[in-house]
Chains A and B, each alone.
Chain A
């Protein structure tokens, strides 16, 4: 039997019971739809988070105060002292090999008053190279000047939302505003960056670090972000930073996190979520497989005399097995294709109707779901097909 004929034969027997075949395939189809939908949500979430993280660029290493590891008893903890990260540390890190820029930041909330209005917003004390490191450009005016970090003038750069709220469409450059009661002069406005992980980058103002220390009465940075050359390996840069910091602090009282580490952890967590969710969809696929098994068992019983006839016409057991196995696989495959298409339609429609939902139709998962559907069809068909193949032709012919 040539394969084109085998396909035609199985299609004709599936067509003979349209409703039944349709419902059986639907069982698999629903399973595949579920897998496609759930994995689309998983993939969408993953891509959303990756996008959020990588919009800062990928060759960033972050140094934060304190060692993120567990020490022995409470006694040991009390002896463990953490030196704050200073502006000097940030400056020193910019001299580590391959490092191009470093930015120390400190953050807080304060009242910003200007143009007769006021707004409580995030105040970020930051360095002159922040736009370079965070890939965050200035839309208007300029950023904090580079040459006066040790004795900075009271300049402020506004986030685009703060600018809109305080000044509307008026030009804010050169205007004097109050940040936490102190007077600052507006020298720039950042472009709009939107929210990053729920954090509104536009609803913030940026002032020199030392001014922020004064404002918040703090003496340590919360984070030093280091931008390094793309050609350099992260390990090498990390080693350089560690050496420099240990020299300066006399011990490892800081934590170094590379962007890649963050992405890896995030990625592995999300992969587990996606796989778990695909497994849930897989359960409905399994139920569909039981449906196919049931229908194929019934089909073998109903078509016993046809099996006898085929044997009398020269079909070997293998042919009979292939016919029923083929039918089972075909039902599963067609149901699967339906599920892949239907799931895709739902995903695309939802993306149009609710653009905020992070959905992403994953073609590898769709292919995987279809493959699993076909495998389930194969497994569900094995027993009925074997039963059909092993029927005695004389007995089969006698059955009406």
Chain B
């Protein structure tokens, strides 16, 4: 469960302070499917970065599963990212020199999981995204849709609670974009909290709950 209270994030740009997030209050329950939409500069990516613990708020509180993240140090934040949060990026962010299997393995490698314990989980994640046959292909040998599937498999291989997707279909044609959204919705149906940032209404409108942002504030929140 995610709970935000009076959350602010200010950026110093020159001698001006920009309020990227301006007193956000938000409650997202486990297994919810939320889309965050809004024009560029509305603060939706900043919000996602804070939800993913990649960035810290300037003010306000963020509770993740009833634990305040405010007092956590770098190591603790990393550990939570590792265990509870999966990321899907617009540009996939696959490591180009590694094949699909190695890319999916990466979170477990970083977590210090032994090779013998990794194999089955990688295989399961590959199967989950339907890429078992492409396991030894490098990113440049895969189509855009397949790359994003590898990225999703990597995001779920540690069995997180939350999947954060930042414009996951932005670099895809509409057909593979739709397939990617279908895949993420399936994962959501199995209990994964899904938060998608997008400016594409066709994607955003599919969510059960639509949060609309403007100028760092939540404008509408439609369940």
The interface of chain A, by Cβ under 8 A from chain B, is 1-2, 4-5, 9, 12-13, 15-16, 305-306, 308-317, 319, 393-394, 397, 400
Selected A-B contacts with CB under 8 Å, 30 pairs? A1-B109, A1-B110, A4-B115, A5-B112, A15-B97, A16-B97, A305-B91, A305-B93, A306-B95, A308-B93, A309-B93, A309-B95, A310-B106, A310-B110, A311-B54, A311-B78, A312-B93, A313-B107, A314-B78, A314-B81, A314-B83, A314-B107, A314-B110, A314-B158, A315-B78, A317-B74, A319-B110, A394-B55, A397-B93, A400-B91
Is B79 a contact of A314 with CB atoms below 8 Å?
A: yes
Judged by a CB distance under 8 angstroms, whether B89 is at the interface is yes
Report if A313-B110 is in contact (Cβ < 8 Å); known contacts: A12-B97, A16-B97.
yes
Knowing A305-B93, A400-B91, say if A315 contacts B110 (CB, 8 Å): yes
From A5, A16, A397, contact of B54 by CB (8 A): A397
Q: Is the CB of B98 within 8 A of A313?
A: no
Task: Check if B89 sits within 8 Å of A397, measured CB to CB.
Answer: yes
B78 proximity list for chain A (CB < 8 A): 311, 314-316
**Taking CB as reference atom, which chain B residue is nearest A5?**
B109
Q: Which residue of B lies closest to A316 (CB)?
A: B78
Residue ID in chain A nearest B105 by CB atoms: A5
Which residues of chain B come closer than 8 Å to A16, judged between CB atoms?
96-97
CB-defined contacts of A400 to chain B, threshold 8 Å: 91
B54, B75, B98, B158: the one within 8 Å of A312 (CB): B54
Contact B82 A314 (CB under 8 A): yes
Are B55 and A13 in contact (CB-based, < 8 A)? no
| Number of B positions contacting A (CB below 8 A) | 30
Cβ A313 vs Cβ B54 within 8 A: no
Bound-state Cα–Cα, A16 to B98, Å: 9
CA A284 to CA B81, docked complex, whole Å: 44
Q: Is the CB of A312 within 8 A of B52?
A: yes
Residues of chain B lying within 8 A (CB to CB) of residue A1? 109-110, 112
Chain A residues with CB under 8 A of B89: 309, 397
Q: A312-B87, A315-B78 are in contact. Are A9 and B54 (CB under 8 A)?
A: no
Which chain A residues border B91 with CB–CB below 8 Å?
A: 305, 400
A394 CA to B89 CA in the complex, in Å? 12
Contacts of B83 in A (CB 8 A): 314
Given A311-B78, A312-B81, A400-B91, 10 additional A-B pairs, CB 8 A = A1-B110, A9-B109, A12-B97, A12-B98, A311-B81, A312-B87, A314-B82, A315-B110, A394-B54, A394-B55
Contacts of B114 in A (CB 8 A): 2
- Neighbouring A residues of B96 by C-beta, 8 Å: 16
In the assembled complex, which residues on chain B have CB atoms less than 8 Å from the CB atom of A319? 110
List residues of chain A with CB within 8 A of the CB of B109: 1, 5, 9
B110 pairs with A394, CB closer than 8 A: no
User: B49 in the interface, Cβ–Cβ < 8 Å?
Assistant: yes
Contacts of A313 in B (CB 8 A): 81-82, 87, 106-107, 110, 154
Chain A residues lying within 8 Å of B81, measured Cβ to Cβ, are: 311-314
Residues of B within 8 A of A9 (CB): 109
CB closest chain-A residue, reference B89: A397
